[in-house]
Copies of this chain bind each other. A is one copy, B any other.
Amino acid sequence: MNVDSIESIISKAEAMSNQHGKKLTPTRKQVLIAMLKSDKALSAYELADSVKKEFDRSIPTMSVYRILDVLMELKLVHKMSIVNKYVACSHITCDHKHSFARFLVCNNCHKVKEIMTNGSTVKILQGNIEELGFKLLNKQLELNCLCHECAG
């Protein structure tokens, strides 16, 4: 992620935050930038380290978790539960709807590819759920993969 695009992503993120009555405070911005600069999903602790390196500023892990909560609520960040790490949304600038995203997560290096899913696939994925008495909370799929480099 180069600097130019990071800046435009951040300003878009700021706009989105304001729309939802939230503020992209300096601390939140630093956390988001740290995530954008990484090509991998990072744990909350790794994020705190990244912010420390990038901005020479220590943030308590507790704050990182709180900030991640806010950023996830705003759909600016996604949690990869299969590795307990967090990744910035790849589509912040593109007025996405977050219909049903698939995440290919490298089990080894934690690189993540986010793929948008089309409407018919969404229907297939949602099929049976209501009939079984379940209610879908989160339209997000994580797939356990190996990336090209790690697959050798």
How many copies make up the complex?
2
> CA separation between A27 and B98, bound complex, in Å?
45
Contact A137 B145 (CB under 8 A): yes
- Residues of chain B within 8 A of A134, CB atoms compared: 104, 106, 113, 143, 145-148, 151
- Residues of chain B within 8 A of A145, CB atoms compared: 129, 134-137
Contact B144 A137 (CB under 8 A): yes
Interface check A19, CB cutoff 8 A: no
Contact B104 A129 (CB under 8 A): yes
Contact A142 B143 (CB under 8 A): no
Interface residues of A (CB under 8 A from B): 81-82, 102, 104, 106-107, 113, 115, 121, 124-125, 128-129, 132-138, 140-148, 151
